[in-house]
Chain A
């Protein structure tokens, strides 16, 4: 046993923590690699420095889950290897290149469990690159991690459960929330009633948050169309149309996001087969109910393989770890695995409800103005993308990248990739599933040219 390389878990959010726990319980010693300075992932992110806020202040109704995860991971200390502030930037041939403090170590692994999480899905709108515009997730990080607000008059824009959650958290923290602008129509929210039998607590909590926002005088607007962010050097106003009428509102901070998108680069570098997922409107690495991918020894858990939220991530992390154990003939608890799968299926059904309640803005690709920046890294406008599609006759996303530079910059298409796919599909009158997906390239995030290569012995630890 001891001569086999250790399994590697990427991500120390809810999925990664529960996976690590299950592996340790079975006597394995995994290596957990995480970009953040401390565990918890995005949703249960910990503050950078202690302050007067309680966990209840930080995580609201989810405080108990956050505390449990932080505590359970701390209890694994000594039984696993944990590299925080570490970037796994390349995968090849059963080896991971991991950057820690400016040095890259090459780690051979036996079993790779990817719990890479998600980021906000963004569809560019006029003004989205102005200082003062944040993703909803970014706005939440500012609050949770650093105890600061994105503005003194903040507007939250977009759709998805996070829209109301972040607005509510800002209000609770004492920050001024000028408005919540939901791009979905109010009628879509009735879909949530279908979710009541599945998860009454979550639905009622969402309703309570909405009610509390309203009581606090926060304007809630539905069916928001054609949002435009305006300002000279920073956000000054937001304008939109609603029911045929033009609206404007002064603000100095905007949190924007349209649900989430999975971080799939490492699954791609690991060679996992992808399939298009209609609900997430994205190509996702294939996984079975246990979390196994098309590549033996590579497992997926959590939002990194399809958006399902933190509760699902905890279960999927544990389930994928059990699969890893089973594949090592360590006979894990089969009954437990079945329970986890049943719970995951129930959450999956709830996800369908949420998608109906916060639908994707289908008109975006048709409406986006030529002058709007689509790829902010490479400063490519929607008009330039349209021109490139016409000039070169491309209808596949990697070809569009080649001729237009979209997705070639620092973020490697993690921010603009969804939007570019939507625009390409619209311009070529194809379904979004027919335009392909951006092939991932290392490094998955920028690395310094002076990155040092660790000696091989050090990597083996």
Chain B
């Protein structure tokens, strides 16, 4: 039994980027189909750490990040739930003077971007954040950042899109997309044929083949951030914690559970799924117990991981295809997609409606790989265990 459908915009990938774009486009009056090979929000968008922060991002991401920053407090009005978003502030710790110097350099570099970073010395930390253990010399605090529940936010955007009239099709993998006259033809699971004037490729770690089929190969790889969560504890951690140079990041949710990340997981036989390694999880747990004395007697109740698309320069691909009119890419957020995704969704909708956006996105052009001009970002401490910059 075959099915045919014609829409203005077909979106491949129901993560936070795809579903927030779907919602924005629907609000503009477009007919939209949102397709996911599994369940919307079940991959990187839904299983990430949940940090909502601008601090630490490369400077070229900050305009987009600021745009998203304005969306987060409006979630309730936008998707019907607040997604447990908490503007707690984000505190990035420095283990030594060199790390502190790099926090200071970052604060100076982004001084004009409106992050309002506050540098805090050792004594200030002891006074204000006494629950942090020894071995930290200072920190940089971004009061406007926070954290949220990715499981709810990502699924919530897709659910809101569905309520707004988007045709949300889960378990509907797209087998192929072709340009056909002045529109696209998509072949999807369940003998579904879709025609669309625009296609948004927001397929995350699975976006590569779609770009390649339009003559735009990208060096997209996969990373598997690894997380541990404790049983509910007394509320002590008032802010979202990061570490300059990476290694550990942690936040306490309202219910009391502490989510701690670090290390990397490994893919399973089916590389779409991954699981933390035992020794990696132990390293995260031990680090957390050492950094936060209040967690010394806590139990870890669950580990998890997810599959995230990563680019070598740690910047995403966002913007129109260089080869095919009507095709727009948005993927490769390299563990940094959660916070900016709602802003990216708005930008994508503008690209469809107006063919342009006022938010600067030139740095994320897919053309940077075609031109053989791979750039490295100016972010600090690009180590293996870098805190995901959600």
> Number of A interface residues, CB 8 Å?
35
B300-A446 in contact (CB<8A): yes
The reply on A215 being an interface residue by CB < 8 A is no
The reply on B301 being an interface residue by CB < 8 A is yes
B298-A449 in contact (CB<8A): yes
B303-A442 in contact (CB<8A): yes
Residue numbers in B under 8 Å from A116 (CB-CB): none
Q: Which residue of B lies closest to A410 (CB)?
A: B301
Residue numbers in A under 8 Å from B282 (CB-CB): 104, 451-453
The reply on B269 being an interface residue by CB < 8 A is yes
B80-A391 in contact (CB<8A): yes
B296-A450 in contact (CB<8A): yes
Q: Which residue of A lies closest to B295 (CB)?
A: A449
- Of A269, A378, A402, A443, the contact of B155 (CB 8 Å cutoff): A402
Categorize the interface residue count of chain B. Answer: 35 or more
**Complex Cα spacing A378 to B300, Å:** 15
Contact (A449, B303) CB under 8 Å given A92-B275, A92-B277, A442-B278:
no
**B residues 109-160 touching A (CB-CB < 8 Å):** 151-152, 155-156, 159
A448-B299 in contact (CB<8A): yes
Residue numbers in A under 8 Å from B316 (CB-CB): none
B279-A453 in contact (CB<8A): yes
The reply on A412 being an interface residue by CB < 8 A is yes
The reply on A403 being an interface residue by CB < 8 A is yes
- Of B159, B275, B278, the contact of A392 (CB 8 Å cutoff): B159
The reply on B234 being an interface residue by CB < 8 A is no
A441-B279 in contact (CB<8A): no
A441-B156 in contact (CB<8A): no
The reply on B13 being an interface residue by CB < 8 A is no
B42-A443 in contact (CB<8A): no
Contact (A403, B288) CB under 8 Å given A391-B80, A449-B230, A449-B295:
no
Bitwise, A90-103 to B at CB < 8 A (1) or not (0) is 10110101000000
**Complex Cα spacing A271 to B275, Å:** 12
The reply on A239 being an interface residue by CB < 8 A is no
Contact (A403, B155) CB under 8 Å given A449-B230, A451-B282:
yes
The reply on B276 being an interface residue by CB < 8 A is yes
**A residues 61-79 touching B (CB-CB < 8 Å):** none
The reply on A408 being an interface residue by CB < 8 A is yes
- Of A398, A399, A443, the contact of B300 (CB 8 Å cutoff): A443
The reply on A296 being an interface residue by CB < 8 A is no
The reply on A37 being an interface residue by CB < 8 A is no
Residue numbers in A under 8 Å from B266 (CB-CB): 92-93
Bitwise, A431-460 to B at CB < 8 A (1) or not (0) is 000000000011100111111110000000
Residue numbers in B under 8 Å from A399 (CB-CB): 39, 42, 155
B268-A271 in contact (CB<8A): yes
Residues of B participating in the A interface, judged by any CB pair closer than 8 Å? 39, 41-42, 46, 80-81, 151-152, 155-156, 159, 162, 230-231, 255, 266, 268-269, 275-279, 281-283, 285-286, 288-289, 295-304
Nearest 7 CB-CB pairs, A to B? A97-B278, A446-B299, A402-B151, A449-B289, A449-B285, A90-B278, A453-B282
5 contacts between A and B (CB under 8 A): A92-B275, A106-B278, A402-B41, A451-B282, A453-B286
Apart from A92-B266, A449-B295, list 6 A-B contacts with CB within 8 A. Answer: A90-B281, A399-B39, A402-B151, A410-B299, A448-B298, A453-B283
Residues of A participating in the B interface, judged by any CB pair closer than 8 Å? 89-90, 92-93, 95, 97, 104, 106, 269, 271, 378, 391-394, 396, 398-399, 402-403, 408-410, 412, 441-443, 446-453
